[in-house]
Amino acid sequence: MVRAQILRWGAAAVIFTALPGVSCFGTGNPGPPKFDRDHAFGYLERQVSFGPRVPGTEAHEKTADWLVSVLRDYTSQVTVQPFNGTFGGTEASMKNILASFYPGTMKRVLLCAHWDSRHHADRDPDPAHHDMPVPGANDGASGVAVLLEIAGCLAGQEPPVGVDIVLFDGEDGGRYRDDASWLLGSRHFASVMPQNFRPEYALLLDMVGDSDLVLSSDFSSIKSAPRVWERIVRHCKALHIPIDSEPVGILDDHVPLIGRGIPSVDIIDFTYLFWHTVSDTPDKCSPESLGKIGELVLRLLYEER
Any idea which architecture 5-302 has in CATH? 3-Layer(aba) Sandwich (3.40)
Which of 292 and 196 is assigned the larger pLDDT? Answer: 292
pTM for this structure? 0.91
Contact call for residues 102 and 156 (beta carbons, < 8 A): no
Query: 169 φ, ψ to 5°?
Result: -100, 165
Res 172: pLDDT: 97
Question: What's the pLDDT score for residue 268?
Answer: 98
* 104-117 exposure pattern, b = at least 16 Cβ within 10 A, e = fewer: ebeebbbbbbbbbb
pLDDT score for 304:
82
Q: What is the pLDDT of residue 29?
A: 63
| CA diameter of the chain | 59
For range 60-83, the mean pLDDT: 98
CA distances from 298 to 104, 145, 154 (A): 20, 14, 9
pLDDT of residue 16: 46
pLDDT value, residue 23: 32
Residue with the bigger pLDDT between 98 and 305: it is: 98
Each residue's pLDDT tens digit, 11-41: 322 344 444 332 334 445 678 999 999 999 9
Tell me the domain boundaries of the chain.
5-302
The proportion of the chain whose per-residue pLDDT surpasses 70, expressed as a percent, equals 90
- Residue among 36, 110, 45 at smallest CA distance from 267: 110
Mean pLDDT, range 72-89, rounded to an integer: 98
What CA–CA distance (Å, rounded) separates 183 from 222? 20
Q: Is the dihedral of CA 296, 248, 44, 70 positive or negative?
A: positive
pLDDT at 28: 54
Span 241-255, pLDDT tens digits: 999 989 999 999 999
